[in-house]
Chain A
Amino acid sequence: MSVLTINDLGMNFSGFQALDGISLTLQEGERHAILGPNGAGKTTFFNCLTGQIIPTRGVVSYKGRRITGLSPSRIVRRGIGRSFQRINIYPQMSVFENVQVAMIAHEGMSFRLFRKAEALFREETLQMLELVNLTEDETVTAGLMSYGKQKQLELAIALCSEPELLLLDEPTAGMSPQETLDSIALIADIAEQRQLTLLFTEHDMHVVFTIADRISVLHHGELVASGTPQEIRANDDVRTIYLGGYADDAA
């Protein structure tokens, strides 16, 4: 069954065509990577899918229902989770609260004015922290943790909404090689356990070929190739973009 259907998506920033006619279908359980050099439009692509930007053309449907034009919060509630390239947590709240507040939102209790927060979803929050290996950091102020741990925390926050589709924007950016390895293992593990459909952008080829079962390549806002890792490896256009990229720019 297809989870996400993207049909002829286009985004034009007052004359600059950031995305052009992208069509893509994600099957359930698929781990789909988006490759592309800097400036290819990867982040814009994600922003169009999650409602931060309203695309100028095309339709995005999630499980057969149109989501283009909805606000991010409504798209999240439909079942799409997201992590960001730049770390996105609540720096002054404790690690526990970071996750707890996401639980509260997911359970639709964000507007309970007289329901004491402290006691809410303690079990669930602790379980979630365990899942991303942050049990010991429960009481730490989130902004004071290491970069890698903040990324783990962000993953936990994104998972609270029990997404079936998870969008990860550069999940290993800025990590040390060891952190990268750990974090790939963690993501793969969680995706397996929860039967998540993954859509992620990544600059690290090794990561891409380890996790992804399908890969699409974005270049100058257009989708130049889409297929299995083997197909992509063999694709001439992709080779030109990545290997001949310098020659291309110079010309």
Chain B
Amino acid sequence: MNKSITGTALLVLLLALVPLAGSRYLIYLVTEIQIFALFALSFNLLLGYGGLISFGHAAWFSIGAYASAILLTTLGWPFLLAFPAAVAVTALAAALIGYFCVKLTEIYFSMLTLAFGQLVWAIAFKWVSVTGGDTGFIGVAVPEFLDSPVRFFYFSLCVVLLCATVLWVIVRSAYGMTLVATRENRNRAEFIGVNVRRVQLVAFTLAGTFAGVAGALFTVFNHSVFVETAWWSTSAEVMIMSILGGVGSFVGPVIGAAVLIFLDRTVTEYTQYWPSVMGVILLAVLFFMPTGIAGFLNRRRGGTRR
């Protein structure tokens, strides 16, 4: 326990020192990793803890991204109002759509989340006057105090750390344990008096909300939103990040996001065939490291899975 606190503190310190290296490329890379780490963490609340295979997680990321872009630029709200409002919009949307999704289970749940995810994409794609459609939402009014890579780096670091802490507390909570119980045995959970659907709905809403935070950060990071983000392949990618890192551990998805984003940026420098590289990595994980990097390391250290 103490070891992991020390480890986390060291990691945070190391992250805080990144901008001092003076490399703009590195700053961008690490900022992006932070954002996707949060995205993957939010996803793993559903997959790893709730056992819910959502295939529409891109929807929450994009709703957060578009909402913040629209609030900041189209409506001209001040950032400190627009950012939380964008997150609130995402939370509401996730609660509403989640209400319908948790009525279904297994393959049907996956399909319904996919359908809703694609619905969000279709609306973003076609509602050109609001979202910019195919061209994307360009020129987001980013507030001055965040309009520098270094300052935004620290801002996103703070936000992501805060969210990760909240998620960490949640998965260790009475609720978190109940969520795991619903994953382990839905029927039994029902028969200790747990309203399983409501537990899943809370998980769905929380996961959507934190994905919305990640999306809103991504908007400010890019100064724009692109409709491709809402396409189902983004949902597949966040799933790959989680599996690659390891869904059985809290930090797994963070590792997965870091590795995947780093490889993406590095490999694309040399070849256009990044998808193949990702495909091969995925196959390797599926066949040789089913518990992901975190699970693999844990086993090497002789630790057990919680």
Contact = CB atoms under 8 A, between A and B. Distances in A.
B193 interface: yes
Contact of A77 (B172, B178, B193): B193
Contact of B178 (A76, A105, A116): A105
Given A91-B184, A91-B185, A117-B172, A110 B191 contact: no
Interface in A50-88: 50, 71-74, 76-77, 81-82, 84, 88
Using C-beta atoms within 8 Å of the partner chain, give the interface range for chain B: 20 to 34
Contact of A112 (B173, B192, B198): B173
A117 B174 CA distance: 4
Contacts of B192: 76, 101-102, 105-106, 157-158, 160-161
A222 interface: no
Contacts of B103: none
B233 interface: no
A88 B198 CA distance: 21
A93 B190 contact: no
Interface string A97-138: 100111011100111111111101000000000000000000
Contacts of A147: none
Could you tell me the dominant secondary structure of chain B's interface residues?
A: helix
Contacts of B89: none
B20 to A, nearest CB: 35
Interface string B154-195: 000000000000000110111111101100110111111111
- Most chain A CB inside 10 Å of its own CB: which residue of B173, B188, B191, B206: B191
A89 B173 CA distance: 20
A140 to B, nearest CB: 12
B2 to A, nearest CB: 15
B185 A114 contact: no
Contact of B175 (A74, A112, A118, A158): A112
B202 interface: yes
B173 A117 contact: yes
B188 A111 contact: no
A209 interface: no
Nearest to B304: A141
A152 B290 CA distance: 32
A161 B191 CA distance: 9
A92 interface: yes
B175 A105 contact: no
Contacts of B185: 88-91
A100 B177 contact: yes
A90 B174 contact: no
B199 A110 contact: yes
A100 B176 CA distance: 12
Interface string B15-34: 00000000000000000000
Given A88-B185, A93-B184, A104 B172 contact: no
Nearest to B185: A90
B196 interface: yes
A114 B190 contact: no
Contacts of A89: 185, 188
Contacts of A102: 192
B173 A105 contact: no
B174 A73 contact: no
A112 B170 CA distance: 9
A113 B173 contact: yes
A110 B184 contact: no
Nearest to A72: B190
Interface in B240-255: none
Interface string A179-212: 0000000000000000000000000000000000
Nearest to A88: B188
Contacts of B172: 116-118
A50 B191 contact: yes
B105 to A, nearest CB: 14
A199 B190 CA distance: 19
Contacts of A160: 192
Contacts of B180: 90, 93, 101
Given A73-B193, A88-B191, A158-B191, A101 B177 contact: yes
Interface string B295-306: 000000000010
Contacts of B189: 101, 105
Nearest to B190: A72
Interface string A148-168: 000000100110110000000
Contacts of A158: 191-192
Given A73-B190, A158-B191, A101 B170 contact: no
Given A90-B185, A101-B178, A113-B169, 14 more contacts: A71-B195, A73-B193, A73-B196, A88-B188, A90-B188, A92-B184, A93-B184, A104-B177, A106-B193, A111-B174, A111-B175, A113-B175, A113-B176, A154-B188
A-B pairs with lowest CB-CB distance, top 10: A90-B184, A76-B193, A102-B192, A117-B177, A112-B174, A110-B178, A105-B192, A72-B190, A88-B188, A77-B193
6 contacts: A73-B195, A90-B184, A114-B170, A116-B172, A116-B174, A154-B188
